[in-house]
Structure 1
């Protein structure tokens, strides 16, 4: 039976099952579970459920582990929870893997509160919830922009004697940073170190990024120095460096950003050379050459810094290549970097200079939504040029504006 199921010869497996019954051989629950698992693996979860209900042998905990996991893989949390309750009724407690899959599915569907209830039910029945399941739940709350609830889950798991690990803290630090709660992230970082949990690259990377993105580049630089002192450069991964560049540029410390970029040359000679080449081309108006170097950099797997994006967007706008500048802004946001006010301003000017008033208006609205105020020159430029005639004011929205901008 195992051989037939492993090679996906399901019809032959069922023939063997019928032959056994005709010979008055009673199939064991292990044999049935093998067939149930093969059906689930082939996407025939309903048929597997029917077989589990009709089998001669009593189902086991493994039977329910298989079915719960299969329904989760099929994206069906309702039937997975039905199987969970049925397993409880029969005195079984699903294993940690099946429970974690159900928690993950519920959190993915925005139903983290129900995931809490699932874990509570498992514990009520005498089951143990491990750190992996709690981490999955914490991640669900962080993804739902509720990191403070995730913090409460951390305290609850500690109260129950479940030890948090570096993954637990990384999830929370990331969630808090994304919510702009950098002080809480820093406190959590200190807490994990005091508890003897060593931060890894992801910990440093996320917190440096959070600090620099929220106006605390000085603290980001201090943490960067600690990372280098304690852990080295982690194989010369560039993301913390780009976070420092972003923070410096965001605070208007452009000269320091350029200086820091030069300091990166020993660790990232190719990336720094390409970045400086792009900036030089942009400075002297050779935008086509700058774009070619940028495209090559991305093709080779390089991650452009905020300086590169800012220089290229400004240069493209000056050449009235607004569509390309807008695409580049979207690319930048795709890497997790928030566009600077200067980039918004350059695009607004570009839209106005090209007569795309509606697009400029939409971009200004987006800036306001994100808490960015255009400078006086941009606001005046838009107001002065916006409505020379009623016809211009009512022209259709330019195709340059794309709804995908906000992500």
Structure 2
């Protein structure tokens, strides 16, 4: 199956999958992700959705895993509009994107100058209890991007959330953000964040 995917014969690979399933042999996440990747690479997004419907129905791979893989493949193939629609739909239907999908999605928004959209998606994730997928890398990207573009209120709100959850900033961004906080008069927040950052670093070194 992987041979056919790598050699541009994705429909042949799907036919093999059908035969496998008819004999009670169901795909794992790696197989499904590979098929989704190559379907998106050929622009066959509709077929990718059909594949997901099928594997979710037979219970071999979860909806969260399938749609997270699809988000990644859409982004990798420059289908940003479709990725946004899918990500919003997932949040609206309590389908939690995994950490990799979240991180890549936010990074792409940042790269395209849509950091406020990234913050809006973060708020939606907060409402739908999806923050378990948000790691310190995503917080750091959002905070730095918001400060870079002068969105101080949003950035400070995010930093307060980080302090509350004891999440440290990505090291490469920490000093720049501490400096911005002090310049903007948020000395107390800077000290709290520095304390969390130092505490976690000491803990990691033990």
| Fold match by TM threshold 0.5 | yes
Q: From 143, 149, 160, give the equivalent of 1:225.
A: 160
**How many residue pairs are counted as aligned between the two chains?**
184
Q: 2:37 touches 2:73 (CA, 8 Å); kept in 1?
A: yes
2:149 paired residue number: 214
How far apart in 2 are the matches of 1:203 and 1:157?
18
Whole-Å separation in 2 of the counterparts to 1:242 and 1:116: 45
Q: Residues 27-56 of structure 1, C-alpha deviation per residue, up to 9 Å, x if partnerless?
A: xxxxxxxxxxxxxxxxxxxxxxxxxxxxxx
Structure 1 residues not aligned, in runs of 5+: 1-67, 269-407
Pairing 1:256–2:180 present: no
Q: Does 1:150 align with 2:83?
A: yes
Match of 1:164 in 2: 96
Structure 1 SS opposite 2:8: helix
Residue 98 (structure 1) shift: 0.7
Quote the residue 1:203 is aligned against: 138
TM-score, length of structure 2 as denominator length? 0.66
Displacement of 1:77 in angstroms is: 5.0
Superposed, 1:298-317 pairs within 5 Å as none
Distance 2:194 2:116 in 1: 32
TM-aligned CA distance change 1:146 to 1:242, over 3 Å: farther
Alignment deviations for residues 173-199 of structure 1 (CA, whole Å, 9 cap, x no partner): 332222222222112111111112224
Structure with the greater relative contact order (CA < 8 A, sep ≥ 6): 1 or 2? Answer: 2
Query: Do the aligned partners of 1:139 and 1:171 also contact (CA within 8 Å) in 2?
Result: yes
Q: Name the stretch that deviates more: 82-91 or 185-194.
A: 82-91
Matches within 5 A, 1:60-139: 68=1, 70-71=2-3, 76-88=6-18, 91=22, 94-107=27-40, 110-111=41-42, 113-124=43-54, 126-127=57-58, 130-139=63-72
Task: Give the distance between the partners of 2:78 and 2:35, measured in 1 at CA.
Answer: 20
Partners in 2 of 1:152 and 1:96 — Cα distance?
23
**Kept in 1: contact 2:107–2:141 (CA 8 A):** yes
Contact kept, 8 Å, 1:174 with 1:206, in 2: the verdict is yes
Larger radius of gyration: 1
Question: 1:268-287 to 2 correspondence within 5 Å?
Answer: none
Aligned pair in 2 of structure 1 residues 265, 123: CA closer, same or farther (>3 Å)?
A: closer
User: What RMSD over aligned residues (CA atoms) do the two structures have, in Å?
Assistant: 3.9
- Displacement of 1:114 in angstroms is 2.1
Q: Is the 8 A contact 2:72 2:104 kept in 1?
A: yes
Q: Secondary structure at the match of 2:164?
A: helix
1:103 and 1:121 map into 2 onto residues whose CA distance is: 8
Unmatched tracts of structure 2, length 5 or more: 199-206
Q: 1:122 to 1:150 in 2, by over 3 A?
A: closer
